[in-house]
Amino acid sequence: MHKLSREDLYSLEKYAEIRPDFRARVMEHKKPRRVAIGPNAALYFEDRLLMQYQIQEMLRIERIFEPEAIQEELDAYNPLIPDGSNWKATLMMEYPDPEVRQRALARLIGVERRTWVRVGDFDRIYAIADEDLERDTEEKTSSVHFMRFELTPEMVKAAKAGADISMGIDHPEYSYEVSPVAEETRASLVNDLD
């Protein structure tokens, strides 16, 4: 996927005009890109449209219009756009109760390294996680992790040919699998492989 540039973004005025329709389109696009893994984890797969939306929202909220500041937003979000041979996702550990969440995160150190995807019968691909900064401490993990899954050319070919896509987490304290993901999700993820 091509990275975003300033020319791909709407001005603040134009974005204000189109925002309701653009937001509705993005929310619909986003639905199949969320995969619940068990009751308390979800992978949110990122792509170019979702990053454009994030940037547009940041520009709107912060009232950013200076070229240098816009470029800073592009530089922050462009790395989350898939590169054609990978999937990029945000892992969210979702515990509504703060006390339950605190206890769970203390048991889930390393969960980001035990998160995987699989194409067809190929081996599992474990996430390359948190390349921007370490999110674990000795006491707990974070509830948010950024990750990418690097596919081999053979896996890309198989996915494009219709192979099932599965994913899961095999942490000793949290072990769930989705096999296979829904067809709508599979089709959306295959679009990231160009």
Q: Give yes or no for a contact between 178 and 168, defined as CB atoms under 8 angstroms apart.
A: yes
pTM of the predicted model, to two decimals?
0.90
**In sequence order, which ranges of 108-145 are alpha helices (DSSP H)?**
none
Give the C-alpha separation, 131 to 146, whole Å. 8
Give the C-alpha separation, 54 to 150, whole Å. 23
Give the pLDDT of the chain (194 residues) as one tens digit per residue: 689 999 999 999 999 999 999 999 999 999 999 999 999 999 999 999 999 999 999 999 999 889 999 999 999 899 999 999 999 999 999 999 999 999 999 999 999 999 999 999 999 999 998 766 565 667 888 899 999 999 999 999 999 999 999 999 999 999 999 999 999 999 999 999 97
Neighbour tally for 4: CB within 10 Å: 18
Burial of 154 (0-12, 13-18, 19+ CB in 10 A): exposed
Neighbour tally for 194: CB within 10 Å: 12
Q: Tokens 């993901």, residue? A: 181
